[in-house]
Structures are given as C-alpha cells and as structure tokens.
Amino acid sequence: MILLRLISWPYVRKHAGRALLTVAGIAIGVAVFVAMRAANDAVFGAFTQTVSRLAGATELQVTAGFSGFDEAVLERVQAMPEVAVASPVIEAVGATGLPGQGNVLILGIDMTGDRSLREYDLESGDAAVLDDPLVFLAQPDSLMITAEFARRNGLRTNDRLPLDTVDGRKEFVVRGVLGASGLSGAFGGNLAIMDIYAAQHVFGRGRRFDRIDLALTPGVALDAGRQALQQALGPGFQVQTPSARGQSFESLLRIYRLMLRFSSLFALVIALFMIYNAFATAVTQRRAEIGILRALGATRGQVGLLFVVESAVAGCLGSAVGVALGYALAGGVARLIGTLLEGIQGVGQGQAEVTPTPWLVGVALALGTLTSVLAAALPAREAARVDPIKALQRGRLQVLGAGENRARTLVAAGLGALGAALFVGTTSLPAFYVGYLCLLLAALLLTPWLSVALVRLLRPALVWLRPTEGMLAADSLIGAPRRTSATVSALMLAIALVVGLAGIGRASHGQITEWAESALNPDFFVTGSPTLTGRDYRLPEAMTGELAKVEGVAIVQRMRQPRVAYRNSLVLLMATDVESVGRTARRTVLEGEAADMYRRVAAGEAAIVSENFAAGFGVHAGDVVELAAPTGMLRLPVAGVVREYSDTQGALIVDLALYRKHWHDDTVDLFRVYVSPGAVPEEVRGRILTRFADQRRLFVLSSHQVRAYVGRMADQWFSVTWVQIAVATLVAVLGIASSLTVTIADRRREFGVLQAIGGLRRQVRAAIWMEAATLAVVCLVLGLVLGALHLYFVLQISYRDYPGLRFDYAYPSLVALAVCPVMLAAAVAAAIGPAESAVRGSLVEALEYE
Amino acid sequence: MIRLDAVVKQFDGKRRVVALNDVSVSITRGEMVSIVGPSGSGKSTLLNLIGCLDRPSSGEVSIDGRRLSGLDDDELTRVRRDTIGFVFQFFNLLPTLTALENVALPLHLRGWSRHRARERATELLGVVGLAQRVHHLPEELSGGERQRVAIARALSVYPPVLLGDEPTGNLDSRTGEDILALLTDLHARLGTTIVIVTHDMRVAQSCGRTIAMRDGQVVGDVRR
Amino acid sequence: MSKWMLIPCAVLAAATTVTAQDARQVVAEAQARSTTKSQRYEGRLQVVDAGGKTSEKRWTYTRLGSHGASKTIIRFTGPAEVKGVALLIVNFPDRASDQWMWTPAINRERRIATQDRRTRFFGTDFSFEDLEERDVDHHTYVMEGEETLEGERCWRIASTPRPGRRSQYTRSTLWIRQSTYSFAQVENFNGSTLVRRLRYRDMASVQGIWSARTLEMHDFTRNSRTILTLESLTYDVPLRDDQFTVQALQRS
C-alpha cells in the first residue's frame, strides 16, 4: 500500500518516540502474555514429560487417593485376564545427604516384574544397569541412580550414598546406574530406584503400595480395561491413565494459573487503551493530512484502511518485540512456577526449558495485532469520517455530537444495571463472568464523565495551590475529557489489577496467619518429614505410646492426612484424634455447633469439612459426603464447616479410628504434642529427640517453626503476586508516560499560544506538571475504587469457580497507599520531558505547529 | 515606540535562509501600520521579532525604548505580555476554554484575581461585540466570532501594541471587513499602536502607513 | 527348575534297541529316563559377561516331584551379600510357575512377578522361561538326522511350540545322545537368529541316571556365558511336601 509509505511512514519518523511508546504498549502486553504462557507451558510440559517418563509403557494406574492400599490388591489386579503386567510402585521424596543436591524422587518398584513397563535404558547392555540383580534385591540398601545424578556427584557402582529414612540417616549403596534417556530424564536426574519392599521399609509404609502400574493384555481396549478394573476394585480406587493422574496434580495449581490468566488479559486490555490513545491523537493531529487525502480523491474506506493497516503494522512489530521479550522473561517466571510445583511435589523438575512453540508465537502475534487493530478501529472510523473541507480549514476543530455523551451514559447505565443483576441475582458461573464484564465496561464507558467530575472536584484545591496554573491544568482536563479518558481507562485498569492482586495477598496472608495460630497450636509437631505437608516418611503407630511416656509430654494427637478422591478431585483427608483435637485446637466454626460437631465426629459418625470444601462442592452441615474408601463407599454426614487452610482443594476432618477401619492404614504422618504445664518445651523437645535418636529419623518442629513454614509457603505464593503487581505497576507507569508524552506533544501549539499571550515558562511548565499530577490523581481515585470492585470479583471467583481459597474481603490499603506516590512520581516524571520541549522550543514553530 | 536597527534574521536549516536582511524600521505610538509583501518576503518574521516571539540573528529590536537583546526569556515574556497583544490568522484560541475564559487567560497569567479577570474579560467581549456569546466554546463560534474573541484576548490588558498576523486571512471578505472595522475602531478609540501583516490590499489601504517587503528587505514605506 | 537343564540324564534301560527312531519317541524316552522323585545338589554358578568379568554364586538345590508337578527350593549360600536368599518355585503342568523369594535382610518373602518369561534369571544367562519345566507334549518334533557332537553320536531334532503355547523362541534344535538318551545340547532361535545355546557336559551316572555335572548357557545377543556346576548330586532323597511352602522358605 503506497499510502502507507507516503503518508504513514513520514509521520512515524517525525514522531519516532511516540511511535515507539505505542509499540512498547503492545510489546508489554504481549510480553506478559507470552512470558506467563511460555513459562506455564514449559513447566507443565516438563512435568507431563516427567509423568510420561515415569509411566513408561504403563497404560493404567491404580491408586486410592494418596492413602495407599494393601499388598493383596496387587494379586487381585494381576489375576485379572485384562491385565498383562501389573507392577506395584511406592513413590517417595527422599532427602539426600549430599550438599546442594536437594531431594530425589525415589521410585520403589518390583524389579522382577517392572521391566516390561518402564524403559530403564540400559547404558551398555543389560549388565551395566544393575551390577547384580540378586544382590540388588537381597540387600535393602540397594539404590539405582541416574547417570546424570551419578555424574554430578561423581558416584559409581558400589559407592555409598546417604539418604534419610524413617529410621534416621542411612548409607545406601549404588548398585546400578540408569542410562541417559528414558526414566533418567525425569526430575532433572534427581530420581532413584529402590526395591519396592526395601522402600516399604525405608519409608515406613508397612505392607502397602502407593500405586499399581499396569499394561493391558493385547487386544483389550483401554476403556474396557479401565472399566473392568474399576468394577473389580470398587469405588475406593482410581483407575486412571498416567496423564490423567498428572492432570490432577496440575489441578493443584489451578488457582495460580487463573491469576496468571487474569494478568495477561489485563496487560492486553491496558495495551489496548494505550494504543487507542496514540491513534486517537494521531487522527486528530493528522486531520489536515486526511483532509488533503480525501480532497485528492481517497475514499472513506481507504482512509479508514490506512489507519487499520498502520495499527496492524504497529501491532505486528509490538507483538514481535513482545514475543521476544516474553520469552526472555519466561525463564524467570518458569523458575518461579517450578518452585511452586516443587513445593507441592517435593522434588524439583530440573531446569524447565522454555522453547518457543509456533503455536504460542502465532497466537501472541495474532492477539497483539488484533488488539492493536481493535484499539485503532474507533480512531480509524473517525479518520474516515473526517470532512475534507472542514479539515482543510486550519484551526477549525471538528466536534463530536452531544448525542454521543448521552448514548454513552445510557449504555453504561444499562450495562451497569445488567452487571449488577447478574452479579447478585444468579449463581450461574457464565452469568457471573458476563456480569463482571458488564460492570467493567460500564466503568470504562463512564470514565470520561467520572474523570471530569473528579477534576471539577479537584479544581478548587488546584486553584488554591497555584491560582493560574491550577486553573489552567484543571480546565484543560475538564475541557477535554476524551483526550484523557483513554489514559485514565488504562491506568484505572492497571491500578485496579494491582489492588486486586494485593487484596488477595493481604486477605489470604491475614487469614492464613490467623488460622495457623489457632489450628497449629501444639507445642511440637513430631514428623518423619521435615515439613508438615510431606507425607513420604511415615511413622508407626507404636510411637504413640512411646511419645506419651516421654517426661513432660501431656497430650499426643495422631494425624494421618492422605489425599483421597472426592467427586473427581483429590481432597485432603485429615484423620486425627478428633476428641482430643476438639479440646485443644478448635477451628473457627462456620456452620454447625462446635461441641456437638466434635462429639459426633470423634464417635466416627460424621465428618467436619473445611470452608473451601463446603464452597467447592456445595456441601453444607447436614449433607452427606460419600467417600470412596478401599473397603467401599463410606457415607458420612457433615457435622459442621470450619475454617481450615491445610489444602487448596478442600479438607475433611474425620476420626483416626474411622480412617483406620476403612483404609486399613495404621501409619501416622505426624504427632501433635502438647507439653505438661510447668514443663520446659525445649527440654521436652530434647528428650523426644534423644528418646528416638538412634531409632528413627524424626523432626520435632515447634509451633513457631511450623508457623514460619506456613508463612514461607504463603510468601512463596505471594512472590508470584508481587511479580504481577510489579508488572501491573510497570504497565501503569509506562501507560501514563506514553499518554502524557502523546497528549503534551500534541498540544505544543496550545502551550505556544499560552506563552505568546504572556505565560511565563515556569507558569506553563507548572501547569503541565499539575495537569499530569491531577491526571494521576484521577487515575488513582478511579483505579482504587474500581480495584475495590475488582477485588470483590476476584475473591468471588476464587470462591465460586475455584473452590480453593475463600477469603474475607480486606482492602489492601498499604499497597494502595504505596501505589499513590509511585503513580504521581511517574506522572510528573513523564511530564517533565514533554513539558520542557514544549516551553523551550521555538515559539514561532509552536504557533505554526499542526 | 518600536525600533528595529539593522536587523538580520537567518534560519539555519539544511539551507540557510535569510528572512530579514538589514532591516531598520521605526514605528511611533498610535500608528496603524500594515506590512505587505509576497509570501517569503519576511513580513511574518518581522512581526514575530516585534512581538518578542523570536530574537534577531543580529541587529537590535527595542520597544518603548527598551532594548530586547539583553533580556532573558522570562523578561522577554514580561515585555510581551505587558506591551503586546497578538491576533493570529488561525485565532489560536484554546479549544477547551470558553470565550470568556480565553479572554481572561492572559489576565490570569498576570496573576489577576478570578473575579477581576472575569469582569475585564466580559467588558472586553462587550467591546468586540460578543456580549451574548461569552460562554461558548471556540468550536461553537463562527470564524469571525472567533477572531473577535482573539482580539478581545489580545486587548485584555489594553496593551499599547496590537499585532495581527493576517487577522482576516482566514475569513470571508464580509467578515474580514467587520474585523478590519473593529480594529480601526479600536485604534481610534484606544489609541493602540497596531501592526498588521496582510495580503489584503484593502486592509493595507485602511492603515495609515504601509511597509512593503520583498526578499527580506523593506522596499517601500508609504504614509497616507 | 527345568529337567532339561538340571537332570539331562538318561539310563539306557533294558533291551529295547531303537532303530528308526520317531523324534517324539526319542524326546519322550529321554524324559522318562531322567524322571526321579526328588533331587538335591550344591551348585556353583559362574557368569562370564562379554567383557570377561566373572561373578560367582553358590546355592543348595532341592526338588520334589518331577516334570509337570514339581517344587523346587534354591537357597543361596554365597557370596555374603546374597547368603540366605531363598527361592521357591512351584511348577504346574498347564501354566507358568509360581515363584517366591525370601530376603532375610528385610525379613520378608515376596512373590516374584513372572509375567514376562523373557526376563533373565537374576543376572544369569538363563531366562525364566529357560528354567520352566517343559513337558514333551508342549512341542511338536521333526527328526533332522544324526550328528556327532563332542565325540558322541546324537539325534538332531527340531522342536516347535504347539499352537497356543507362548514362547520367546520360535523354534529350538535338540541334540540327544544316542548312547544314553541324554540331552547334549539345545539351541534356541528367534526366527533365524540363534538366541541361546545350552550345553550338557561332564556326564556321569548318578544312582543309575546319566547326569550332566556342568551346564553351560551361552547368550548370543549379549555374548555372555553362565556355567553351572553341580556337586554332591543325589536323587530320590526323602523330602516332604511341607518343606516346599512359603512358610518353609523362611526357615533356613
């Protein structure tokens, strides 16, 4: 298109800085989108790959939540005609005693039968992998490690490797090395294989397996095999493909992914406004040019198209830069997500490789370009409607009809009403989303009106501050609502996003702390794993009595907390001594009567559910939950709903005796220990450690340590939030900078006139600064208010759609306060450059500027 | 009142352009002068120098006996705002302000109180015959009306000098005549020194003195 | 454990002179002559891998019953890492054997999953399938002629699994000594590829049964050999059924 070269290119060259900012707007939006997606894909790609590597030729996996099941189940599975090979698995995370090597995932498998399922990639023929299979099986200290891990640590066959076990730290012997591909690639090489029966012993599993991996008899369809197994085993077991199991792992992070999606969306919407702003200005500035074009015979369509194509080119360029920037950022984001996943799984995935996929690049380019074109559509339409005659009369401005304002207000009112109705009136999710969208649109439509109203309110203060300059600043803003509304819209959204994110952070942090203080109040937690969530090292029932006998110990409460399946989700089953816990650590009761509730649950007649469980599954006191236990369906009435944040998927509290009866599992994850009045906690702790020192690996965590741990977990979560807040703030700063640059540069003549009629430089300068600051204040006020609404929505969504977290509404005043000076400073800083160029440039030129 | 001594103005772009070449002009108080000449003759540059919008490359401009060459930008601005009123071809009204506010603007810049500024602005709009349209935005006014607002603004502090750069150039001839009549009337009533750059010979002829320019030099100076 | 491997013996009984021999009859006769009620020996197992690395293990072997319905216990006696490990193998005429293993270090027995019969037997060159007892009726036979192997006249017989019987080998070639009806060599093929060769050496008559006291298995895919030497070999020792149970496995 020749017009582009003749008309657009010179303009872009003349306003290079401005064009750059426009492109930067798109670039940031696209970069955020790409970084989030690419990192997400990389981490979960690596995760999926790990899942499939671990699975090998496994077609189906049998699990019973995370509770494990009796060995006897294996024989039942093996006896089925549909099953060709069935191999038991124990999966545990073990701490290596090697400095800097962290945890390894230990796969306990049956080497005599597992070969046909997993590819061990024998490094140099069969013999190299296991020095001697018989010795491997005969000696419980046998370990097979990956070539990668061996190389990193200079380990060779028959070398010793320390590993923490239930019985304390033990030396293991490397009796085999896995080759470089296949299994070895999972978890960045931090993977070890142990004989399953040795693993039962090392991890305190008793005679239980975590899982059975199986391949079906050739000719048996996957679905038919799955159904046959499900039928044979009953509802207490899950029969899934390995990838489906991987997905349920991923679902543990879904709230987090939701937040990422929100951020990308916001970034793009903000970019949309920035581009709109740039193009709207460009159209105003180039009216004469457009007039000439039209006079020379260009059709309206051609003129409109010119702008659309310009925006498409800008969008394309911006997207390309954004894609590159996004991928550059993705590595860091991937590390962050990786840390989160590691927190859930226990073992790092190793460095997730972020590799550009054509799909994502394509989508990002399309999205960026589309956003740009969309943003430019309105200005382009306006450009097409320019009246050539009027445009050619210099100094005459075309005005929009007053009708537009009324229509705008009407539509906004309509949308607002609809939004409010959908928001409050229905429980349907799509309606809820649409409602939110309506409210957001209404807010955006009302932005011009609202900002003018606000400036009117601010005017006296401005005039009082600096009569002349203040008046100039205020009147300029009042007089041109459309000029500023795009800026205000973009920044309002950005600030709202910041408020939403910070609000979630604050709410969750506050409530988690409160819960940690009331629910996690024992003096000590005695566990086999160094964290409360680790369930890899279990302790035997026999320890209960031994612990109780330690001098100074008053109360010992047992706790076993596996994940179990409930309506296709994996929820946390907290099996504990409810009667005792009910006395020492009562949760905030939301439904039900406390005393009666604990009594019934202690008697094994009922269960208590966490608030997020109740919300997520729509279960209330008096309802019945059906839990699939290995012994069959367990129907339990819900005695009450409490505040409990142990798990994002929801938690059920039942009595330990009930759990043992139905799950045949007498292991213990942790003991909650209260010391006797008068006893010195530190001494009791020392006695516990001494008592079991030579028997087993034990961690005695003080409530202080546990709360600190909970705090750290929460902080890890918030580190993501902070990054998002930083991105949103950056977008806001860039937005205000770009908008001010554009609008001030656009008004050079105006400032020239001001000087020509007697305005001093400093007066003009101050007026511009005040205008920028006022604009920032308007954005802040509107943004902080919209943020309040947005926060409400996000909390509602996490509550209605993602029943992970339910938090009370708490406005993040601190962050809101912190944003104010940042935005004001950004606004004024952004105004300095354009203001100086406006007052320092040649007056003669400024007056002729158009 | 206004003196230019051996003023040279050149623009250093890709190609050096000498806009004014050794121009010396003197205008006394109360004169109404028109400057004519083909485009590129340097007449607008001359006006900008008189209006303190620009500085000469060499030579001296003095207004009311005050030499401008020694002044800094702010002092120059002060001279401009106390001595000179501008009327532009393209009006140069601020589109976001009403007629009244536009006229009051220079007064505000001088630190006048709001009330006093509005009073004077209303008075001035009355002088230019726009008492009925004080609250209209520029875009709601016709070209002639806008130019009247611009003139009212230029007169806001009753400056001794009023400069017009093609004040009728963007108006139809009927309206142009009205504006010219207004200027002549103001000249007569207020005794303001008026300097107008124009193409329009009728405008030129209605002034007491006409300076003709060509190629950056004064080629004629006729008093009627 | 397989008869072919561990009791490859035959007694030249009475006066029957076999002339134009039917292949199946030869195999049946070889099986008949090697049948005993029970057996015991001390075994020494040497694995020589492709690189020439040798590892050695020792075991005590006891068997009760024969062919279709036998039970075997192998107790490892050396080296120290595997001492005490015991295996119980229960053979059935109509399906794969059941196997259990006792590991004293973790004090428990385990069932060995033998769904894949191609798996090597604990790092030796024998696969689990090689260890299964094969009944004469499981295969069809074709006489391929006579050959002299290590100085002895042998029948050379081709053996193919009967339809419905799964095997990692598509066919095998058997060499049976004409003098004693004892196995001399078995070659196992997958298609046309020779996978494993088993040789029966050091023949001696033990309690009237011709027995090989050295068995040598050669795995051609890995170029590795396993040599099993039988010492203190006796037949028809008094053994009871309850000595061949999972519970009995734990008593050493």
Percent of chain C at pLDDT > 90 equals 30
DSSP three-state, residue A238: strand
Q: Which of B46, B89, B92, B175 to mutate to test the interface with A (most CBs of A within 10 A)?
A: B92
List the chains bordering chain A where 3 or more Cβ pairs fall under 8 Å.
Answer: B, C
Assigned domain for C23 exists: no
Is residue C173's pLDDT more than 90?
Answer: yes
pLDDT value, residue C176: 93
Contact (Cβ atoms closer than 8 angstroms) between residue A732 and residue A494 = yes
Task: Determine contact, residues A230/A244, Cβ cutoff 8 Å.
Answer: no
Residue spans of the domains in chain B: they are 2-223
Closest CA to A802 of A651, A650, A628: A650
pLDDT of B49 reads: 87
Asked if A467's CB is within 8 angstroms of B106's CB, the reply is no
pLDDT of the residue at A399: 43
CB-based contact C222 A127, cutoff 8 Å: yes
Whether chains A and C touch (3+ CB pairs under 8 A) is answered by: yes
Q: Which residues from A are below 8 Å from B99, CB to CB?
A: none
The answer to whether B171 faces chain A, any CB pair under 8 Å, is no
| C185 close to A (CB below 8 A) | no
Residues of C in contact with A198 (CB under 8 A): 106
| pLDDT tens track for A529-565 | 666 555 566 788 888 888 888 888 888 999 888 888 7
A756–B78 CB contact, under 8 Å = no
Q: Indicate the residue of A750, A758, A847 with minimum beta-carbon distance to B88.
A: A847
Q: Do C123 and A133 count as a contact with CB atoms less than 8 A apart?
A: yes
C24 close to A (CB below 8 A): no
Q: Which residues of A touch C (CB under 8 A)?
A: 75, 78, 84-87, 110, 112-113, 115-116, 125-127, 130, 132-135, 137-140, 197-198, 201
Query: Which of A478-487, A685-694, A790-799, B175-184 holds the top average pLDDT?
Result: B175-184
Q: Which of C101, C111, C120 sits opposite A126 (nearest CB)?
A: C120
Cβ contacts of A15 within 8 Å, gap of 6 or more: A745
CATH number of the domain residue C44 falls in: 2.50.20.10
CB B49 within 8 A of CB B14: no
CA distance, residue C158 to nearest chain A CA (Å): 29
The pLDDT, as a whole number, for residue A536 is: 62
Chain A residues in contact with B85 (beta carbon < 8 A): 757
Kindly state the tokens that stand for A404. 């537009």
**Contact (CB<8Å) A397/B95:** yes
DSSP assignment of chain C equals --HHHH-------SSPPP-S--HHHHHHHHHHHH--SEEEEEEEEEEE-TT--EEEEEEEEEEEEETTEEEEEEEEEESGGGTT-EEEEE--SSSPPEEEEEETTTTEEEEPP-S-TTSBSTTSS-BHHHHS---GGGEEEEEEEEEEETTEEEEEEEEEEPTT---S-SEEEEEEETTT--EEEEEEEETTEEEEEEEEEEEEEETTEEEEEEEEEEETTTTEEEEEEEEEEEES----GGGSSHHHHH--
- Separation between Cα atoms, residue A689 and residue A696, nearest integer Å: 10
Condensed to tens digits (0 to 9), the pLDDT of residues A324-360 reads 888 888 887 777 767 666 655 555 555 566 778 888 8
Q: Which of C5, C63, C14, C55 is nearest to C36 (CA)?
A: C63
**Interior CA angle at C70 toward C65 and C71, to 5°?**
105
Return the residue of C nearest to A88 by Cα.
C113
The CA-to-CA distance between both ends of chain A, in Å, stands at: 25
d(CA A771, CA C221): 85
Q: Which residues of A touch B111 (CB under 8 A)?
A: 467-468
pLDDT in tens, A476-513: 788 777 667 777 887 888 888 888 888 877 777 777 77
Locate the chain C residue with the closest alpha carbon to A85.
Answer: C115
- The predicted model gives A450-468 an average pLDDT of 86
pLDDT digits (tens, 9 = 90+) for B150-170: 888 888 878 888 888 888 877
Q: What is the rounded average pLDDT of the residues A434-441?
A: 82
Q: Which residue of B has its CA nearest to A393?
A: B170
Average pLDDT over residues B22-48: 87
Q: Which of A278-292, B98-112, C40-54 has the highest mean pLDDT?
A: C40-54
What are the structural domain ranges in chain A?
A: 1-57+241-398, 60-240, 522-704
Containing domain of residue C197, as a range?
Answer: 40-250
Nearest CA in chain B to A468: B108
pLDDT at A713: 66
Report which DSSP code applies to A421.
Answer: H
pLDDT level of residue A806 (50, 70, 90 thresholds)? low
Rounded to two decimals, the ipTM of the complex is 0.81
Q: How many domains does chain C have?
A: 1
Predicted confidence at residue A75, as pLDDT, reads 85
Task: Say whether pLDDT at A306 is over 90.
Answer: no
For chain A, how big is the Rg over CA atoms in Å?
33
Minimum distance, in Å, between the CA of residue A173 and any CA atom of chain C: 12
pLDDT of residue C157: 93
What distance in Å separates residue C122's CA from the closest CA in chain A? 5
Q: Does B136 touch chain A (CB under 8 A)?
A: no
* Residue C20: per-residue pLDDT: 42
pLDDT at A656: 92
Contact B74 A393 (CB under 8 A): no
Above 60 in pLDDT, residue A182? no
Determine whether the interchain pair B109/A762 forms a contact, defined as Cβ–Cβ distance below 8 Å.
no
Question: Does B106 contact A761 at a Cβ distance shorter than 8 Å?
Answer: no
Distance from CA of B87 to the nearest CA of A (A): 10
Q: What is the pLDDT of residues A447-458, one digit of tens each?
A: 888 888 888 899
Nearest CA in chain B to A472: B105
Of the candidates B53, B90, B146, the beta carbon closest to that of A844 is on B53
- The answer on pLDDT for C198 being more than 90 is yes
pLDDT value, residue C10: 36
For residue C190, give both structure tokens: 């997958």
Residue in A754, A761, A844 closest to B48 by CB = A844
Structure confidence by residue, pLDDT tens digits, A111-144: 776 666 665 544 334 434 566 778 888 888 888 8
Cα angle A595, A600, A605; round to 5: 165
pLDDT of residue A114: 63
Please give the residue of chain C at the shortest CA–CA distance from A113.
C113
Q: What pLDDT does A186 receive?
A: 63
- pLDDT tens-place string over residues A351-385: 566 778 888 889 888 888 888 888 888 888 877 77
**Token digits for A540?**
């035997």
Alpha helices in A520-593 (DSSP H): 543-549, 578-584
Q: Mean pLDDT over residues C155-168, rounded?
A: 86
Helix or strand (DSSP H, E) at A380: helix A358-384
pLDDT bin (cut points 50, 70, 90) of residue C7 is very low
* Low-confidence winner among A143-147, A259-263, B159-163, C27-31 (lowest mean pLDDT): A259-263
In CATH terms, the fold of domain B2-223 is: Rossmann fold (3.40.50)
Mutate to test the interface with A, among C47, C83, C111 (most CBs of A within 10 A): C111
- Residue carrying structure tokens 């039970």: C71
Q: Is residue A199 pLDDT above 50, yes or no?
A: yes
* Chain A CB within 8 Å of residue C50 CB: yes
What per-residue confidence (pLDDT) applies to A381?
81
The average confidence (pLDDT) of chain C is 82
Secondary structure of residue C81 in the 3-state scheme: helix
Question: Is residue B148 pLDDT above 80, yes or no?
Answer: yes
Q: Is the pLDDT of residue A1 over 70?
A: no
Q: Output the pLDDT for position A185.
A: 59
